[in-house]
Amino acid sequence: MNSALFLSLLVVAFTGAFMLLVPHFSSPRYLFAVTVPAGFRASEPGRAAIRRYHWWVVRAIAASAVIVATMAQSWPDLAVVLAMLPAIAGVASFLRERSKLQGYAAPPPGVREADLAPDGDHLPRWIALALVPLALPLAAAAYLRAHWSEIPERFPVHWGAAGEPNRWAGKTPAAVYGPLLSGAGMMLFLLLLGLAIFYGSRRAPQRTAILKILVACVYFLGFIFTGVGLMPVVRVPIAAFLVATFLFAAAVIAWGYKIVTDPAQPVEATLDQYWYLGSIYCNPQDPAIFVQKRIGFGYTINFGNRMSWLLLGSFLAGMLGLVRVAR
């Protein structure tokens, strides 16, 4: 099996498995991001909606696997793109089932939640551990500087789906240190995002859990970008980075799934009328900048809050800066 086919089938399997999990990756309070009565999932309409969704995703997985198996040899990059067909089919089926379930929606709760983190609410002490992996890019930069003479005049900086390099860079400080600088920037971005979520959302166990996941992501990015940054002098198989990324993503999804589906976990009460397409929240009357997602684990931004737009603009500007540095 060539590397392009392996990568394409890995994407199909990972994407398909995740999409099959989507209807279950939420509190029992919701089904396809619609607030439903207690026990609705076990009812015939609820089980029928899940069966229809799964059927469409399974067909998309089978079709995608056949397509990428026939295209991986001749068009490896296109095969990887088409491996995302289960995600497209899953989103379309999700929206269709969400529309059908609107008639079964439970009445809005009589209690409204608006408790934001007070001034006396402090970050957990272990958040300081997130600063440790920032030393990895610095150490890698020092290593590269000490071994500058071993860096070839041209070295690969991008690889295709087949694992072959398709873009090269010259031996310049910007090209050598750029990936490390970009990685450090992304790590800082995640830390700032964690702080924004902690202080811009209502108090709940998920708020601390998402901080733990973001800290884990900072460590993961530190190791990944350090490995990529050392590529000019240390040869690491690209497949190692890909496999590590899939394994880490799977671990994060499993962790989030365990927390979200725990009946003992409190669920943030937000009204259906302020949710669009099941994942976009816009409520000008809600002071929270971030609210808990209805599908999956974590938080999404409240587009009805003006501060959200300022925060979103700042983060986008930072991401554009990172992209510019990486080039």
Q: What is the DSSP string of 223-243?
A: HHHHHHHTTTTS---HHHHHH
Residues 188 and 253 in one domain: yes
Residues 91 and 148 in one domain: no
Residues 103 and 132 in one domain: no
Q: What is the pLDDT of residue 115?
A: 52
238 is a domain residue = yes
Q: What is the pLDDT of residue 51?
A: 96
Query: Which of 62, 78, 107 lies at the terminal end of a domain, its last residue?
Result: 107
Query: Which of 107, 138, 162 lies at the terminal end of a domain, its last residue?
Result: 107
Mean pLDDT to the nearest integer, 173-198: 90
Q: What is the pLDDT of residue 251?
A: 92
Residues 145 and 175 in one domain: yes
Which domain range does residue 206 map to? 126-327
Residues 176 and 28 in one domain: no
Residues 315 and 204 in one domain: yes
Q: What is the pLDDT of residue 80?
A: 81
Confidence of residue 325 (pLDDT cuts 50, 70, 90): low
Residues 137 and 83 in one domain: no
Residues 166 and 40 in one domain: no
Confidence of residue 265 (pLDDT cuts 50, 70, 90): confident
Q: What is the pLDDT of residue 242?
A: 83
272 is a domain residue = yes
Non-local (6+) Cβ contacts of 181 within 8 A are 137, 325
Number of domain units in the chain: 2
Non-local (6+) Cβ contacts of 42 within 8 A are none
117 is a domain residue = no
Q: What is the pLDDT of residue 169?
A: 86
Non-local (6+) Cβ contacts of 248 within 8 A are 220
| pLDDT over threshold 60, residue 1 | no
Instruction: Tell me the C-alpha distance between 110 and 180, whole Å.
Output: 51
153 is a domain residue = yes
Residues 196 and 318 in one domain: yes
209 is a domain residue = yes
277 is a domain residue = yes
Structure tokens at 252: 């994060």
Q: What is the pLDDT of residue 2?
A: 66
Asked if 79 and 8 touch (Cβ cutoff 8 Å), the reply is yes
Instruction: Tell me the C-alpha distance between 97 and 48, whole Å.
Output: 10
Structure tokens at 136: 């990895």
Query: Which of 77, 107, 137 lies at the terminal end of a domain, its last residue?
Result: 107
Say if pTM beats, i.e. exceeds, 0.95.
no
C-alpha dihedral, 67 to 73 to 75 to 80, nearest 10°:
60
In sequence order, which ranges of the chain are alpha helices (DSSP H)?
3-21, 44-71, 76-82, 85-101, 135-146, 173-200, 205-229, 238-260, 306-326
112 is a domain residue = no
Residues 74 and 131 in one domain: no
113 is a domain residue = no
Residues 166 and 276 in one domain: yes
pLDDT in tens, 55-87: 999 999 999 999 888 887 788 778 888 889 999
- Residue 167: DSSP 8-state: E
Residues 212 and 75 in one domain: no
